[in-house]
Amino acid sequence: MLNVLDSAVPVECWSCSVAHNESTLFCPHCSKIQPPPGGNYYSVFNLQPALNIDLAALETAFHRLSRKLHPDRFARATASEKEWSLADTALLNDAYRTLRDPLRRTEYLLKLHGAEIGEEHSGKDRRPHEMGASRAPADLLEEVFELNMQLEEMRAARSSGEDDPALARNLSEAKAKFEGLQAEVDHDLREQWTAWDNGGDAEKQAAQKAMVALLDRRRYLSNLVREVNETMGA
Amino acid sequence: MAEGRVVGIDLGTTNSLVAYMEGDKPVVIPGVDGSNLVPSVVALDPMPEGGTRPTVTVGNSARRALIETPERVIYSVKRLMGRGLSEVQSELKLFPFRLAEDVEEGEVPRIQLGELKFTPPEISAYVLRQLKRNAERFFGAPVKQAVITVPAYFNDAQRQATKDAGRMAGLEVLRLVNEPTAAALAYGLDRGKVGTIAVYDLGGGTFDISILKLRDGIFEVQSTNGDTHLGGDDIDNLLVAIALDEIQNEHGVNLRADAGAVQALRKAAIDAKIQLSTQPVARFDIELPNNDRYQREIPRAVFENLIAPILQRTAAPCKQAMLDAGVVPEDIDEVVLVGGSTRIPAVRQLVDDLFHLGARGKKPHIELNPDEVVALGAAVQADILAGSSAATEELLLLDVTPLSLGIEALGGTTAKIIQRNSTIPASATEHFTTGVDGQTNVAIHVVQGERELAADCRSLARFDLKGIPPMSAGLPRIEVKFLIDADGILHVSAREQRSGQAAQIEVKPTYGLTDEQVETMILESFDHAEEDFNKRLLIEARNEADTILAAVDRAPQSPVWHQLSGEEQSSIAAARDRLASVKLGDDTNSIRQATLALDHATRRFAELMMEAAVTTAIRGKTMDAAGEELSDEVTAPHPMAPAEFK
- CATH no. for residue B277? 3.90.640.10
User: What's the pLDDT at A22?
Assistant: 67
Statement to judge: residues B219 and B201 lie in one domain: yes
Interval A150-155 mean pLDDT: 84
User: What's the pLDDT at B190?
Assistant: 58
| Domain CATH code at residue B599 | 1.20.1270.10
At B336-372, the pLDDT tens digits run 999 999 999 999 999 999 999 999 999 998 989 999 9
Q: Tell me the domain boundaries of chain A.
A: 10-100, 128-232
Interval B495-511 mean pLDDT: 70
Task: Using the predicted structure, report yes or no on whether residue A27 has a pLDDT greater than 90.
Answer: no
| ipTM of the prediction | 0.82
User: What's the pLDDT at B358?
Assistant: 92
Task: Using the predicted structure, report yes or no on whether residue B610 has a pLDDT greater than 50.
Answer: yes
User: What's the pLDDT at B617?
Assistant: 44
pTM for the full predicted model? 0.80
Statement to judge: residues B217 and B240 lie in one domain: no
Looking at per-residue pLDDT, the higher value among B34 and B489 belongs to B489
Statement to judge: residues B413 and B499 lie in one domain: yes
CA dist., res. B122 & res. B519, Å (int): 11
Mean pLDDT (chain A) is 81
Answer yes or no: are the C-beta atoms of B31 and B23 closer than 8 Å: no
Give the closest of A86, A122, A234 to B425, CB-based: A86
Q: Is any Cβ of chain B less than 8 angstroms from the Cβ of A126?
A: yes
Bridge partner residues of B453 (DSSP): B413
> Which chain B positions have a beta carbon within 8 Å of A71's beta carbon?
425, 485-486
3-state class (DSSP) for residue B42:
strand
Q: Is any Cβ of chain B less than 8 angstroms from the Cβ of A56?
A: no
Task: Using the predicted structure, report yes or no on whether residue A138 has a pLDDT greater than 80.
Answer: no
User: What's the pLDDT at B27?
Assistant: 95
Answer yes or no: are the C-beta atoms of A22 and A4 closer than 8 Å: no
Statement to judge: residues B102 and B201 lie in one domain: yes
Residue B166 within any structural domain of the chain: yes
Helices B588-601 + B566-582 axis angle, to 10: 170
SS (H, E, C) B436-467: CCCCCCEEEEEEECCCCEHHHCEEEEEEEEEC
Task: Using the predicted structure, report yes or no on whether residue B153 has a pLDDT greater than 80.
Answer: yes
> Which chain A positions have a beta carbon within 8 Å of B430's beta carbon?
122-123
Highest mean pLDDT of the ranges A43-47, B207-211, B258-262:
B207-211
State whether B425 and A123 contact (CB < 8 Å).
no
Residue B523 within any structural domain of the chain: no
Interval B457-472 mean pLDDT: 82
> Which chain A positions have a beta carbon within 8 Å of B484's beta carbon?
90
State whether B215 and A72 contact (CB < 8 Å).
no
The Cα of B429 is separated from the nearest Cα of chain A by a number of Å equal to: 9
CA dist., res. B405 & res. B401, Å (int): 9
User: What's the pLDDT at A3?
Assistant: 37
Domain span at residue B202 reads 5-230+313-398
Statement to judge: residues B67 and B158 lie in one domain: yes
Statement to judge: residues B52 and B171 lie in one domain: yes
> Which chain A positions have a beta carbon within 8 Å of B417's beta carbon?
123
Number of domains chain B contains:
4
Which secondary structure element, helix H or strand E, spans residue B481, and what is its range? strand B478-484
User: What's the pLDDT at A1?
Assistant: 35
User: What's the pLDDT at A199?
Assistant: 84
CA dist., res. B474 & res. B114, Å (int): 56
State which amino acid sits at residue A118.
G
Answer yes or no: are the C-beta atoms of B101 and B29 closer than 8 Å: no
Interval B179-188 mean pLDDT: 91
- Domain end point (choices B398, B414, B444): B398
Helices A201-231 + A102-112 axis angle, to 10: 140
Statement to judge: residues B298 and B381 lie in one domain: no
Answer yes or no: are the C-beta atoms of B373 and B338 closer than 8 Å: yes
Statement to judge: residues B331 and B352 lie in one domain: yes
CA dist., res. B644 & res. B630, Å (int): 27
User: What's the pLDDT at B524?
Assistant: 56
State whether A76 and B432 contact (CB < 8 Å).
no
State whether B414 and A128 contact (CB < 8 Å).
yes
Interval A164-168 mean pLDDT: 82
Statement to judge: residues B357 and B469 lie in one domain: no
User: What's the pLDDT at A131?
Assistant: 33
State whether B396 and A67 contact (CB < 8 Å).
yes
At B17-72, the pLDDT tens digits run 999 999 889 999 998 778 899 999 999 888 777 766 777 889 887 887 777 788 88
| Domain CATH code at residue B388 | 3.30.420.40
At A34-65, the pLDDT tens digits run 888 777 899 999 898 999 999 999 999 999 99
State which amino acid sits at residue B384.
I
Mean pLDDT (chain B) is 84
Question: Cα dist. B376→A132, B23, B24, B25, B268 in Å?
Answer: 52, 13, 12, 9, 30
Residue B644 within any structural domain of the chain: no
> Which chain B positions have a beta carbon within 8 Å of A125's beta carbon?
409-410
Task: Using the predicted structure, report yes or no on whether residue B208 has a pLDDT greater than 80.
Answer: yes
Chain A interface test: which of B318, B328, B396 (most A C-beta within 10 Å): B396
Statement to judge: residues B94 and B182 lie in one domain: yes
* Domain A10-100: CATH class, spelled out: mainly alpha
Statement to judge: residues B423 and B392 lie in one domain: no
Interval B451-459 mean pLDDT: 84
CA dist., res. B166 & res. B175, Å (int): 11
- Domain end point (choices B257, B291, B312): B312
Looking at per-residue pLDDT, the higher value among B506 and B304 belongs to B304
Looking at per-residue pLDDT, the higher value among B232 and A135 belongs to B232
Task: Using the predicted structure, report yes or no on whether residue B509 has a pLDDT greater than 60.
Answer: yes
Q: Is any Cβ of chain B less than 8 angstroms from the Cβ of A225?
A: no
| Separation of CA A123 from chain center | 17
- Percent of chain B whose pLDDT exceeds 70: 89
At B553-584, the pLDDT tens digits run 888 888 888 888 889 899 999 999 999 999 88
Statement to judge: residues B221 and B135 lie in one domain: yes
Residue B340 within any structural domain of the chain: yes
State whether B409 and A71 contact (CB < 8 Å).
no
Interval A184-194 mean pLDDT: 91
What burial letters (b/e) apply to A162-195, b meaning 16+ CB within 10 Å? eeeeebeebbeebbeebeebbeebeebbeebbeb
| Domain CATH code at residue B507 | 2.60.34.10
Q: Is any Cβ of chain B less than 8 angstroms from the Cβ of A163?
A: no
Question: Cα dist. B199→A6, A153, B159, B603 in Å?
Answer: 44, 38, 20, 44
- Domain end point (choices B353, B375, B398): B398
Instruction: Enumerate the active-site residues of B.
Output: 10, 78, 179, 201
